[in-house]
Amino acid sequence: MLKSTLFWFCALISTIHATLVTDVQGIAFQSPFAGKSVSNVTGVVTAKTSGGFYISGTSSSDVRASNGLFIFSETTTVLNKVAVGDMVSVTGTVSEFRSSSDPDDLTATEITSPTAANVVVLSTSNTVSPVKLGTDRIPPTQALSALDVGPDGWLSVPNNQSRVDTVNATLVPADYGLDFWASLEGQLVTVPSPLSVAFPNDFGEFWVVGDWPVTGLNSRGGLSITIGPDNIPDANPEAVIIGAPIDGTTNPVVSLGVTLSDITGVVQYQFGFYYILPLTAPKVLTTPTTTAPPTNITADITDICIVTFGDYNVDNFGPTATQLPTVASHIATHLLSPDIVFLQEIQDNDGATDDGVVSSNVTLSALVSAIAAVNGVTYDFVVIDPVNDADGGEPGGNIRQAYLYRSQKINLVSGSPAGTATEAIAVSSSSGVPKLNFNPGRIDPSNAAWEDSRKPLVAEWQTNGGATLFTVNLHLESKDGSSSTEGNSRPPVNSPVAKRTSQVDLVAEFVQSVLDIDSKANILVAGDCNEYLETRSVFASLTDIMSEMDELADVDPVERYTYVFDQNSEQLDHAFVSTALSNRQNAIQHIHVNNWMANIDERASDHDPSVGKVRLSFLLLSVLTTLTAICAQTYTISQNLSGSNFLSAFAYNESAIDYNNFGNVHFLSQSDAVADNLTYVDSNGHVIIKVDNTTDANGDSTFGRNSVYLESNEMMTIGSLLVFDAVHIPYGCSVWPSLFTQGQDWPDNGEMDLIENVNLATSNQYSLHAGSSSCVQSSSATSNQTGTTTSTNCTVVPSEDENTGCVVEDTQSDSFGAGFAENNGGVYAVLWDESGIAMWFFNRSSVPSDISSSQPDPTSWSTASAWYPASGCSPSSVFGPQTITLYIDICGAFAGDTTTFDETCSSVASNCTSLVQTASNYDNAYWEINYLRVFTTGTSNDAHAETVFSYKTLLAILVAASLELYMLL
């Protein structure tokens, strides 16, 4: 009896002094017991390594406190004492471990080196159910840490402004990735349906996401760095790295997009990241194809308007590089031999041998020969050899940028010598034309920003048609010295971001020096920037004066990647163009010949190449006194409506009641509208279309005022440009004018609203309406329009009475209403082609001269007021042939909406319908129209044709000019 009582008493004392695993872990990054002894910490052994074992204790309702814990011990007597499934009690000292060689790592909570006597096995053969990620716990998808403060979140500059262990914040696992994984530290978890988002590192460790919500997922299966919904760069915290299997098996070889069997393991912080250490290696289930499709951007050496270019960091490329035939094949068969190729990391003639050799002619000649052997295209090359060991990279390799070019199409502008490694390029004005002192040349090579770094290679080119193009080939400072994205420094160290920013600033200064002389200069800056565009502060000086081509071409943000590192598919390689090029036809694609390989060792480079095209802007003096825009898009008038032929081109939609919009109108037939003087041509030749403003209703509350609803007899098709010139648009409280186009079987085949607003509004609204659920205004549109987006969903849902559309409000206060009339009106235009739908408003003083001359060139116009790119809404599949429609409604669902009416008319009347009976309220409810013109591209039987100026066309112009010059002489 005494022994039993004593045993019970000792057990009670032991329980009283027990510490829970969740208490040890706490709810912050570091344990509240750090440096203290704890007794009888109890849990079931879930995994065992050569350096200790993991236990799972009683869980808590507070998900911030992990119930998993690592017990560090390398003592054989301790390790031999326990087995997976044992319930153990451990007494020892809590430690926050961090390797002295990794000062920027987070600390890992553990009990350190308990003696064998302090590890007691209480029972055996216990089981622990792992936490199923995606079901039991779901990782956040945007931010890593609350300490990543700044406009660019984890990419903000300055970085390294705070440290996780110093703040030791309470965890918020629902919002932040570091907090989420910290709240699972030491726990046994399962990753269901893992998807590999990267190649393995040198230790066979690889990143995955599981069957849980993710953002930034690209078509290959990687996680791209994108801008999140809060306008902050997405840090992809939902990915986790899989470490070496605990049982000694070997992880499989994986690549981007490989699917695997479920992974069960323990969460452990090590080597700068939160890992899952799998109990055993997973198996590969599926592997995607390694065949990357070639570009569909093709070079044509007879087209003097379009220049195609490639951009490729070829990764320490010497004359005997093993990747030489592969790189040559990529340029020939996947980039399709563009007119110019921007190359980075070209080594000298003996590669990485550090013997003072700097010339690279052998290296480049070897590549040129290899390309010619594949497809018969023979390139010339341009390069400036660097000072020995002065430009960074592999010691002795002397990497530098170079150009390949097809001399049948394009050549360096003559008249300036080639610069040397140490000579700075400068721009001067020659009769208003920018001229380089060196061609090629380097930007400010002695500037400290370029120390031990590649200097930009500048060249000026001229096509055989006479168009010029300035290019800048970049290879900016690498990210060596940066910290882990999951490290202690917040925001993470981005090294050396200040130097990279200075480099971009110097490039921007050079570009600006060219634009200061010729604001319409064709300039293309491309290369390996070693930085994400989402680090916006780095590129600010350049993006202020140039446009990034992925944004211009509206490449899906998740498909903008040329590099894969850690958990991220990322874009390090960029191309920027000047306004002259951004306003014209352009395209860019990233060709994943390297990062779609099945094995990291099979890649020819760690970068994927890109290929693009630009349409050059230039003028040629033709027949002496006329400047001919050689590369302008050609538009042909298909409908030219003004005066009396305007009204005859439309049918009058006669309806006693406005069934569509519930307006207080009677739409009249043509004969009645003419008889009531609602449609006519005035003495100035202007078309007048109006609401009856002579008849009072004499108290009739059901009165509907007479108006007009016109629908064009001819339809316009994709490839059309509609231009509408008016001096007055209907306005006034209760008035609702609209000029729009509409497909058959609305909302199928879509609707484009060019002019629409109501009451006393001062700015116009543009919108699209579609029957397709896949029609939205994509997020990238806002950077390529001057208007303000108020709604992005274009889809009409008749059953839910939803017809708002995707709306953009013009920012010009004279684009509608009284302000429009007071300024003698202006011009509206809508361009509908394969790239998207663009809409413009020009007030009278800013109407482009090419519109006035009926030779419109939208590529030369200012930024569109509203832009609906094809990536968000297909202009060819969502929109069918369109009928042009013009009307004036009264009240109804828009002007009569109580909230909308009160915004501008609450001081005029208590409600909309009370105004309808009084005729004088409609004195300004009329259209006064100069003309409406519809243009199509190319010939009338091919709306999508594009004029390509061949050498014969150019020759004809030159001959004409020469003949007139001869006659004058």
The H or E element that residue 636 is part of is: strand 635-641
Contact indicator for 802, 729 with CB cutoff of 8 Å: no
Single-letter code of the amino acid located at 689:
I
Q: Which of 112, 86, 92, 107 is nearest to 41 (CA)?
A: 92
Q: What is the DSSP string of 460-484?
A: EEEETTS-EEEEEEEEPPP-TTPPP
User: Which two structure tokens, joined as six digits, stand for 714?
Assistant: 């001819």
- Active-site choice (205, 751, 809, 928): 751
Tokens 């390309």, located at residue = 371
CB neighbourhood size of 355 (10 A): 8
What is residue 73's three-state secondary structure? coil
What DSSP letter does each residue of 236-288 carry, written as one string? -TT-EEE---TTS--PPP--TT-EE--EEEEEEEETTEEEEEESS---EEE--
- At CB < 8 A and 24+ separation, what contacts does 429-435 make? 429/517, 432/517, 432/518, 433/517, 433/518, 434/460, 434/470, 434/513, 434/514, 434/517, 434/518, 434/521
Residue type for position 231:
N
Residue type, 286: T
Token pair for residue 854? 């009926």
Tokens 């939902």 appear where? 238
* Pairwise CA distance, residues 517 & 206, whole Å: 51
Phi and psi at residue 724, in whole multiples of 5°?
A: -130, 120
201 CB-near residues (< 8 Å, 6+ apart): none
CB 850 within 8 A of CB 575: no
- Rounded to an integer, what is the distance from CA 690 to the centroid of its chain? 45
Element spanning 327, H or E? helix 324-329
Instruction: Indicate if 548 belongs to the active site.
Output: no
Q: How far is CA 770 from the centre of its chain?
A: 24
Q: Tokens at residue 209, please?
A: 């996401």
CB 131 within 8 A of CB 68: no
**Tokens matching residue 77:** 């007597």
Of residues 238, 551, 756, 809, which has the active-site annotation? 756
- The identity of residue 456, as a single letter, is P
709/379 Cα distance (integer angstroms): 61
Strands 400-405 and 380-383: antiparallel
Is 751 catalytic? The answer is yes
Indicate the pairing of strand 108-112 with strand 68-72: parallel
The CA-based diameter of the chain, rounded to the nearest angstrom, is 133
Return the closest-CA partner of residue 231 out of 157, 154, 152: 152
| Cβ neighbours around 919 below 10 Å, total | 15
The packing angle between helices 536-543 and 497-517, to 10°, is 10
Determine the Cα–Cα distance for residues 841 and 827; give it in Å rounded to an integer.
Answer: 6
What b/e sequence results for 99-138 when a residue is b if at least 16 CB atoms lie within 10 Å of its CB, and e otherwise?
Answer: eeeeebbbbbbbbebbeeebbbeeeeebebebbbbbeebe
Give yes or no for a contact between 210 and 273, defined as CB atoms under 8 angstroms apart: no
Name beta bridge partners: 709: 887
Cβ atoms of 924 and 737 within 8 Å: the answer is no
Give me the residue label for tokens 């994984």.
181
Separation between Cα atoms, residue 841 and residue 787, nearest integer Å? 10
Give me the active site residues, please: 751, 756
